[in-house]
Amino acid sequence: MKKTLLAAGIAAMMLGATPVMAKTLVYCSEGSPEGFDPSLYTAGTTFDASSKTIYNRLVQFKPGTTEVEPAIAESWDVSDDGLEVTFHLRDDVKFQTTDYFTPSRMLDADDVIWTFERQMDENNPYYKLANGSFEYFNSMSMGELIKSIDKVDDHTVKFVLTQPNAPFVANLAMDFASIHSKEYEQQLLDEGKPELANQQPIGTGPFQFVNYREDAAIRYQANPDYFRGKQPIDNLVFAITSDAQVRYQKLMAGECQVMPFPNPSDVQEMQQNDDINVLEEAGLNVAYLAYNTQMAPFDKPEVRKALNMAINKQAIIDAVFQGAGQVAKNPIPPSMWGYNDAIQDDQYDPDKAKQMLEDAGVENLKMNIWAMPVQRPYMPNARRTAELMQSDLSKVGVDAQIVTYEWGEYLKRSSDTKRDGAVILGWTGDNGDPDNFLGVLLGCDGVGGANRSQWCYQPFDDLIQKARTLDSQEERAKLYEQAQEIFKEQAPWDTLAHSTVFMPLRKEVTGYKIDPLGGHSFEGVDIE
């Protein structure tokens, strides 16, 4: 029989043995993690349960922001040509001690090199075990970007890149770059059970893994050796509760103190509840309608602009987002650096839109609007959005049909350069870098892939490419501001909305910060 520390703590307190009760925070998480090795997966639910709790990275996003700050690396420098990035590691970082592992040394350069080798070196046993399926590492093109990783000394690691890449450091703050213990994984290899690394994780993070009851609960306890000091709470429990309505009931009953992803329709009621605080913040995301700029008549910017002016975006925010969002005028969210606030959005003006369509010689236009079949953080209801667009467009004489496919099929077909129609889709940022929106979603490389408007416009692409090679954030921001001007002139998308993220938690919880990148971290959280 095994009980949690809390149960033991309560039992002991009843006997009058311990004066202080252990503090336990219960988080009603929305789903089961796929595993505990963050390098293998891409789902936020898995990252919350692994990288955010158990692990650290070389650098991290400053809590509540997308700014990159030191973590395991206390500082870093970039060579003048941008090809070498050198990290100076802290010397006081220790891996967790659990009943399945006791570290014999502090974290050093070997662990950092191991972390990346296992995701890119075909001879690494962990690479072989996973068949190289490190999807996030691969999709960020890290393998092509990193030429070599050199150990300068025990606490200095140098990354040599194949080309200058400004977002590289921010990439290392992402979940897949969580630092693994070489000593632990070697030990598992020696014991012939390397796959245990995915079930019994060891990291350096604020909480250490205690156990996982599949689909029911994950338990953690505060890591006493954490390099930023032990957490104010002693135990952390993820109570897996997939239904949003049930999470809300649990929060009200006090069975958990924090819940993610409330139903938008419940938020107002929650805000009126005296026991519950509802934190809110603009999410780092965008929802858009992407025209296929390679198909007539959508190859003409004036036609795209006219359609944008025919669609009443505020009505969509009111009806579909129920106020939990704001109209988007740029392809990147306002909280991101490089956001060009001087841009004027194309105002809703059906009469002018109709005139512009006539001037462009477009008559009796028939078009398809693609509505996603699923709810995403940036889009609560694409079908309803498409219906509103349909009725707006009919007022300017455009006959729009709504089409949809199963989600996987939708993603695939919408990438096709010969696709017929405009697609509703969106994006949530990975690393807080504007390149992660402008480059991935609108760059020439993305045509036939993540660039759903199939838009390859040289003046825009040149700016994006150039910004990638610069090191100074200020200079990069200027280029991105210009790029947003070009974007607005050319209008490959109708930028629809940036949604608001809500985080209901009980009044007694303090210190929780909403992560604009969509993760959930309990570092620094306390219960009063």
Partner 1 sequence: MFKFFLVKLAQLVPTFIGVTIVAFAFIRLLPGDPILLMAGERGISAERYAQLESQMGFDRSLVVQYLDFLKGLLHGDLGNSLVTHAPVMDEFMSRFPATLELSLFALAFAVIIGLPAGVLAAVKRGKTLDHTIMGVSLTGYSMPIFWWGLLLIMLFSSTLGWTPVSGRISYMYFIEPVTGFMTIDSLIAGDWGAFLSSLHYLILPSIVLGTIPLAVIARQTRSSMLEVLGEDYVRTARAKGLSNFRVIMVHTLRNALISVVTVIGLQVGLLLAGAILTETIFSWPGIGKWMIDAISRRDYPSVQGGLVLIAFIVMIVNLLVDLAYGVINPRIRH
> In the range 14-73, which residues lie near partner 1 by CB under 8 A?
24, 26, 31-32, 34-35, 42
Under 8 Å between Cβ of 185 and 114: yes
Q: Contacting partner 1 (CB under 8 A), which of 80, 191, 215, 274?
A: 215
DSSP string, 28-41: --SS--S-S-GGG-
Burial classification of residue 485, based on how many CB atoms lie within 10 Å of its CB (0-12 exposed, 13-18 middle, 19 or more buried): middle
- By CB under 8 A, name the one of 155, 180, 219, 305 that touches partner 1: 219
* Beta bridge mates, 151: 157
Select from 18, 249, 294, 482 the one that contacts partner 1 (CB under 8 A): 249
Compare residues 279 and 411 and give the one whose CB is closer to partner 1: 411
- The residue count of the chain comes to 528
Residues with Cβ within 8 Å of 272's Cβ and at least 6 positions away in sequence, in order, are: none
- Determine if 263 is a binding residue for partner 1 (CB under 8 A): no
How far, in Å, CA of 355 to CA of 357, rounded? 5
Q: Which helix (H) or strand (E) holds 87?
A: strand 84-89
Site for partner 1 contains 445 (CB under 8 A): no
Size of residue set near partner 1 by CB under 8 A: 55
Among 78, 411, 444, 486, binds partner 1 (CB under 8 A): 411
387 binds partner 1, rule: CB under 8 A: no
In this chain, which of 67, 135, 154, 387 binds partner 1, going by CB under 8 A?
135
Q: Which of 122, 213, 341, 344 binds partner 1 (CB under 8 A)?
A: 213
Answer yes or no: are the C-beta atoms of 233 and 248 closer than 8 Å. no
β-strand partners of 51? none
Instruction: Determine, following the binding rule CB under 8 A, whether residue 361 of this chain makes contact with partner 1.
Output: no
| Piece of the chain touching partner 1 by CB under 8 A; list 5-13, 316-324, 380-388, 488-496 | 5-13
Give the angle 221-225-230 at the CA atoms, nearest 5°: 60
Which SS3 state, helix, strand or coil, does residue 209 take? Answer: strand
For residue 74, the minimal CB distance to partner 1 (Å) is 32
| Residue 441 beta carbon to partner 1: minimum distance, rounded to whole angstroms | 9
Residue selected from 120, 170, 233, 240 as contacting partner 1 according to rule CB under 8 A: 240
DSSP helix/strand/coil, 230: coil
φ, ψ of residue 501 in degrees (nearest 5): -95, 130
Residues lying near partner 1 in the complex (CB under 8 A) are found at 1-4, 6-7, 10, 24, 26, 31-32, 34-35, 42, 131, 133, 135, 138-139, 195, 198, 211, 213-217, 219, 237, 239-243, 245-246, 249-250, 252-253, 255, 405-409, 411-412, 415, 425-427, 440, 449-450
